[in-house]
Structure 1
Amino acid sequence: MEILNVQNVKKVYKPRLGAKVEALVDINFTVKKGEYIAIMGESGSGKTTLLNILASLDDVTEGEVMLEGVNYQSIKNEELAAFRRKHLGFVFQDFNLLDQFNLKDNIFLPLVLANKSVKEMNEKVKQIAVTLGIDHVLDKYPYEVSGGQQQRAAVARALITSPSLILADEPTGALDSRSANELLDLLGKFHQSGQTIIMVTHSVCAASKASRVLFIKDGKIISEIRKSYKGEDLTQKIFDMQSSAVAKRIHNE
């Protein structure tokens, strides 16, 4: 079942001074429910712009993005926040937790904004906190716990509303290798349970956990690789793809 459809997306920035910038040229791809997709590319390739568009934080210049049959361009500005809360979950590199709230209250936030009852919020937080292994630190504040625990709280906040799609922006970028691997294992478990995930990353290790990897360059998707069978390690394929891209760049120079 197709959950996300990105068709002929183009994004052009027109600064007051200087020439216009084509951040995205012609982006086309679809995502099936339950897929785990990584997007890779060098700095300036357009991957962050694409993620912002998928998050409905930026508008397309041309083309369309449809999530579960809803065209982003058809959503009124005053309805966008509610749409994001219902359909999208976000995981950021720098966690984006509020220091004045403990972890439990940080996780509560999307449910509070959705006017859920205290009973329902407590039940959901308890269940997801146990799954993520942070149930024993819920009363602590972000600055009192490790980076790995902060990111797990951020993942809990993203998943607490059972969103259609999780968008992760370099989720392991601020973590040590052990915490990063633990987080990737947890994301993998949520994926196996049916959660759809799109992750932007520079990390070969992180991308290798996905079921499909899209490579973006100069605002275009230039290639993709998929797992051909369950449990396949994509690491070597990603390295080969990156090595080929570097060789082509050196040759052109």
Structure 2
Amino acid sequence: MGILKVQSVKKVYQSRRGAKVEALSDISFTVNKGEYIAIMGESGSGKSTLLNILASLDEVTAGEVLLEGMSYKEIPNEKLAAFRREHLGFVFQDFNLLDQFTLKDNIFLPLVMANLRVKEMNAKIKHLGVALEIEHILDKYPYEVSGGQQQRAAVARALITSPSLILADEPTGALDSRSAQELLDLFAAFHQAGQTIIMVTHSVYAASKASRVLFIKDGKINNEIQKTNMNQDITQQVFDMQSAAVAKRRTSL
């Protein structure tokens, strides 16, 4: 069942001098409920623009994005923040935690904005704290814990609203190899539990953990790798596909 539909999406920016730059050109794909997708592409390929559009942070020039049958175009501007809070969870490379708040308070932020009662918030964080193994550090501040623990708190903040879709932007980019592996293991566990995830990444290893990998080049999806089962190792396939794209670009320069 398609939870997210991206239909013929095009994005054109206009520079200050009036020149038009096409960041995305006729992007179409469907994400099924519970699917785990990685999006790869070189800098300037359009993947960050696509992620911003999926996050409803940028508008399409043409085409349409629908989440659970709801078109982004039909959401009034004044209701976009509430839509993101209720339907989308975000995990960023630099964690985006507020240093003046404890980890618990950082995780609670989306619930506070949704006016949930403290009792409800505590019930939600108890489960997530145990699942993410951060229940013992919830009263600490971001600068008092490791990068891996900060990212776990960021994941908890993304999941605490039970979103339809998790959007992750280079989530392992600021982590050491051990913390990155632990985060990917968490993503795999949440995916197996039915969470839908879209992750933008430069990491071949991170992408290989997804159930499907989309490759973007010059604003278009030009390749795709689909796992036949989650135990399939597609690391070499992803590496070969990425390497071929880099080699082709160097040849054309």
TM-score range, shorter chain: over 0.9
Q: Distance in 1 between matches of 2:102 and 2:69?
A: 36
* CA shift for structure 1 position 68: 0.3
* CA shift for structure 1 position 227: 0.6
Q: Deviations over 1:126-183 (max 9, x none)?
A: 1101100100000000000000000000000000000000000000000000000000
Could you say which residue in structure 1 is the equivalent of 2:14?
14
* CA shift for structure 1 position 250: 4.1
Could you say which residue in structure 1 is the equivalent of 2:119?
119
Could you say which residue in structure 2 is the equivalent of 1:76?
76
Q: Distance in 1 between matches of 2:143 and 2:251?
A: 48
Q: Distance in 1 between matches of 2:98 and 2:50?
A: 26
User: Does the alignment pair 1:172 with 2:183?
Assistant: no
Q: Deviations over 1:70-123 (max 9, x none)?
A: 000100001001100110000000000011100000000111111111111001
Structure 2 gap ranges (5+): none
Could you say which residue in structure 1 is the equivalent of 2:30?
30
User: Which one-letter code corresponds to 2:91 in the other structure?
Assistant: V
Could you say which residue in structure 1 is the equivalent of 2:140?
140
User: Does the alignment pair 1:209 with 2:223?
Assistant: no
Q: Distance in 1 between matches of 2:141 and 2:249?
A: 46
Could you say which residue in structure 1 is the equivalent of 2:4?
4
User: Does the alignment pair 1:226 with 2:226?
Assistant: yes
The range that moved more, 57-66 or 230-239, is: 230-239
Could you say which residue in structure 1 is the equivalent of 2:97?
97
User: Does the alignment pair 1:149 with 2:119?
Assistant: no
User: Which one-letter code corresponds to 1:202 in the other structure?
Assistant: H
Q: Distance in 2 between matches of 1:199 and 1:243?
A: 20
Q: Distance in 1 between matches of 2:235 and 2:48?
A: 22
Could you say which residue in structure 1 is the equivalent of 2:162?
162
Could you say which residue in structure 1 is the equivalent of 2:54?
54
Q: Distance in 1 between matches of 2:44 and 2:246?
A: 16
Q: Secondary structure at the match of 1:137?
A: coil
Q: Secondary structure at the match of 2:97?
A: coil
Structure 1 gap ranges (5+): none
The range that moved more, 108-117 or 163-172, is: 108-117
Q: Distance in 2 between matches of 1:101 and 1:144?
A: 11
Q: Secondary structure at the match of 1:5?
A: strand
Q: Distance in 1 between matches of 2:249 and 2:149?
A: 40
Q: Distance in 1 between matches of 2:77 and 2:211?
A: 34
Q: Distance in 1 between matches of 2:242 and 2:110?
A: 38
Q: Distance in 2 between matches of 1:228 and 1:44?
A: 30
Number of residues of Structure 1 aligned to a counterpart in Structure 2: 253
Could you say which residue in structure 2 is the equivalent of 1:194?
194
**TM-score, normalised on structure 2?**
0.98
Q: Distance in 2 between matches of 1:245 and 1:203?
A: 14
**TM-score, normalised on structure 1?**
0.98
Percent identity of equivalent pairs: 78
